[in-house]
Amino acid sequence: MSYEVVGITVLWIFLYGYLIVASIDFGAGFFSYYSRITNKKHVVHNIIQRYLSPVWEVTNVFLVFFFVGIVGFFPDTAYYYGTALLIPGSIAIILLALRGSYYAFATYGAKDSHLYSFLYGATGLLIPASLTTVLTISEGGYLFVENGNVQLLYGELFTSAYSWGVVFLAIVSVLFISAAFLTYYASRAKDKPALEVVRKYALSWSLPTIITGIVVFFLLGKRNPEHFSNMMDLWWMFGISFVTFVGATVLIWKRRNYGTAFVLVMIQFFTAFFAYGAAHLPYLLYPYLTIYDGFTNEAMAIALIVAFIGGLLLLIPSLILLMRLFLFDAEYVEGKK
């Protein structure tokens, strides 16, 4: 594998990691607020809080990791995406800032406020929508580049079916992934009432997720035929994605093996996300930037990869410790510690 491919693979894995952990978090915020206005707060609030409190900060790091990493490996992305995304990027920052800090204010400041809860729920849906702008414009046709000046075509962005499709896909996926995880977590916690609520959420978001997924798949075909035909070459990966989706939904429906169901959901998104990403190569931004012309120098590439391996050696044991203490420790999950 060339350094370019190693670099983008590393980054894509981290983006996938963010997709999963952030979805759980974003969806949990929404469900937490939704259950509040439907007077079911006392049922699900506890399990959501028990999971989120120790890990919310870690979630944020995945995102920072990705955007710092991409500038490190592909400095030219800073130029194109940085110039074009000033407004959507800033909006995402503001939403993330409100969300992160108000979560901490509410949790550690020990004040149960309706406003905080609303902010937390609403931003959980708006952030995925604003972050997906990056994926949307990477397909090409949304930028105007002339004399080294890059502009985002807002008219095109807001009127294109594809960009709206991606926004909806992001939101429903967030809710589905999150509900599937919470179902598993509630079953670990042996919290029957909560389990009933979140299981219903998971089932009701499963169908919208797969339908939007298929719709966006075909919208992309219209938007970027080259990317689409590459994706068709990887049809089997999307096939695995679909099969695992069906498997997960059936398990949740039959109230069995919630843990396996969540792993299947993770595979569902892993295969779809990687097939999408692999088919997009070699472009980082169609048609201006490929992973080859935007790549950093060799010395930096080696240094980054070494740092990455060293970092992982440190991180993986720590993450395992975190999960053992808060995710797989039955007594903690059940609320006895």
Partner 1 sequence: MFGFEYDPVIYSRILTALTLGFHIIFATIGVGVPLMIAIAEWMGIKRNDPHYTLLARRWARGFVVTVAVGVVTGTAIGLQLSLLWPNFMQAAGHTIGLPLFLEIFAFFFEAIFLGIYLYTWDRFKSKMKHFLLVIPIVIGASASAFFITTVNGFMNIPQGFELVDGVLTNVNPLVAMFNPATPTKVAHVIITCYLTSAFILGTIAAIHLIKGNNHVYHKKALHLTMVSGAVFAIATAVIGDLSGKYLHEYQPEKLAAAEWHFETETEAPLILGGILTEDNEVKYALEIPYALSILAGGTPGSEVVGLNDFPEDELPPLWVHYAFDLMVGIGMYLAAVSVLFVVMSWRKKWNPLNKPLLWAVAAGGPLSMIAIESGWVFAEVGRQPWIINGIMRTEEGATTSAHVDIMFVLFVTLYIILGVTCAVVLRRMFKKNPVEHELEKRGMEQPKRVSNE
Report the residue number, 109 or 225, with the smaller CB distance to partner 1.
109
**Shortest separation between residue 132's beta carbon and partner 1, angstroms:** 16
List of residues contacting partner 1 (CB under 8 A): 53-55, 57-58, 60-61, 63-65, 67-69, 71-76, 78-83, 85-87, 89-90, 92-94, 96-105, 108-111, 149-151, 296-297, 299-300, 303-304, 307-308, 310-311, 314-315, 318-319, 321-322, 325-326, 337
Report the residue number, 161 or 322, with the smaller CB distance to partner 1.
322
**Shortest separation between residue 97's beta carbon and partner 1, angstroms:** 4
Q: CA angle 9-56-19, nearest 5°?
A: 30
Report the residue number, 211 or 320, with the smaller CB distance to partner 1.
320
**Shortest separation between residue 6's beta carbon and partner 1, angstroms:** 14
Report the residue number, 254 or 336, with the smaller CB distance to partner 1.
336
Helices 298-326 & 41-73 angle (0-180, nearest 10): 170
**Shortest separation between residue 324's beta carbon and partner 1, angstroms:** 10
**Shortest separation between residue 260's beta carbon and partner 1, angstroms:** 26
Report the residue number, 37 or 303, with the smaller CB distance to partner 1.
303
